[in-house]
Amino acid sequence: MPRQARIDAPGALHHIICRGIERRPIFKDDNDRSDFVGRLATLLPETATRCYAWALIPNHFHLLLKTGEVPISTLMRRLLTGYAVSYNHHHRRHGHLFQNRYKSILCQEDSYLLELVRYIHLNPLRARQVTSLEQLASYPWCGHRYLLGKTRTGWQQTDELLELFSKKKAIARRKYVEFVAEGIDQGKRPELVGGGLIRSSGGWSQVKQQPKSMLQHKSDERILGDGDFVESVLAQADELLDQRVHYQRQGITFEYLVQLVADYFAVEQSDLLSASKQPVRVRARSLLCYWAVQELGMTATAVARQVGMTQPAVSRAVERGRGIAGEVDIKLAEQ
């Protein structure tokens, strides 16, 4: 069965779960954890991505991120690729580190932001990395302690979350701790990471209370939210797909983009398909990469083969191209 495309948009909230291959450890020591957190701390500001919660467990991790200036997939690709190379070198191993694709669930923010923060920050307790809420307050590999003010960070959105509890930080932190404590007995919360029908119905308890005739919620494994939210997200995704089909019908191919961009920037088409460092060619190639990925739906790997660049280099070019696209006076196709 073909895997479904990820759903993303600026401002979208994502619960990300990534496990080690065959559930093996991906963090063997504090050097590994520091390396991972350091990479995350660098990438979040660079991509204007917000982080509300995170937790590192020996064989997996959780992140709660809001899409910024670049797609979450771009940030995750850079994070996972860089970390895997470093981990393999450090531990003298070869091969894949992570299990398949990471899981990314698009979440309805109003209903689930705080629930997910609590769920993620209780993971070290559920995984027995700590034995009490008091120990969790000092656990360095989880965002909980940062919300308590134990340590400051410039990349986790602590103030924004605390304000949801109170304008006064001391009161907000006390209410936050009480909120987290109330979640200890809730267990693994499968509705936060499980099936789309369960999520869009509000959890197993709600599903069981409804007669079969009423279980008509729109559901999707990639989305956490009520039926209306799921409908809205899928409709927006369909609009993007329709746009790409529209381009295909008008003959907007990668080759067409090469010609269009080359003409606009007055460069040779061959210059776009080589690794020239001349500024105008870099700008032109960045726009080409952005349009190919964003508008045509090509993968960064596929574009990399076309332009003679590495996949990470294409991902960086896409980020540059996003800004350039807003500056140029050029249309891809007739509306």
Residue 45 CB neighbour total at 10 angstroms: 11
Mean pLDDT over the full length of the chain: 80
State the Cα–Cα distance between residues 215 and 197, nearest whole angstrom: 8
pLDDT of residue 134: 95
Query: What is the mean pLDDT of the segment spanning 49-73?
Result: 91
Domain residue ranges in the chain = 13-188, 196-241, 251-325
Query: What is the mean pLDDT of the segment spanning 163-172?
Result: 95
State the Cα–Cα distance between residues 147 and 161, nearest whole angstrom: 8
Positive or negative CA dihedral for 245, 250, 255, 257? negative
CB 259 within 8 A of CB 310: no
pLDDT of residue 103: 83
Q: What is the pLDDT of residues 252-262, one digit of tens each?
A: 788 888 888 99
Query: What is the mean pLDDT of the segment spanning 88-103?
Result: 88
Task: Answer yes or no: pTM beyond 0.75.
Answer: no
CATH superfamily of domain region 251-325? DnaA protein, C-terminal DNA-binding domain (1.10.1750.10)
Of the pLDDT bands very low, low, confident and very high (cuts 50, 70, 90), residue 237 is very low
Q: Is the pLDDT reported for residue 100 higher than 90? A: no
At residue 196, what is the residue type?
G
pLDDT of residue 131: 95
Q: At 131, list the tokens.
A: 């034995």
Q: At 154, list the tokens.
A: 């410039």
Q: What is the pLDDT of residues 6-60, one digit of tens each?
A: 555 667 788 899 999 988 999 999 999 999 999 999 999 888 899 999 999 999 9
Most confident segment among 90-104, 143-157, 169-183, 188-202: 169-183
Query: What is the mean pLDDT of the segment spanning 143-162?
Result: 91
Q: What percent of the chain has pLDDT over 90?
A: 39
**Terminal-to-terminal C-alpha distance of the chain:** 34
Query: What is the mean pLDDT of the segment spanning 145-160?
Result: 90
Let me know if the fold of 13-188 is the same as that of 251-325: no
Q: At 237, list the tokens.
A: 């995704």
> For domain 13-188, which CATH number applies: 3.30.930.10, 3.30.43.10, 3.40.50.920, 3.30.70.1290?
3.30.70.1290
Q: What is the pLDDT of residues 196-232, one digit of tens each?
A: 433 444 443 443 344 443 333 444 455 555 445 445 5
Query: What is the mean pLDDT of the segment spanning 176-184?
Result: 94
At residue 250, what is the residue type?
Q
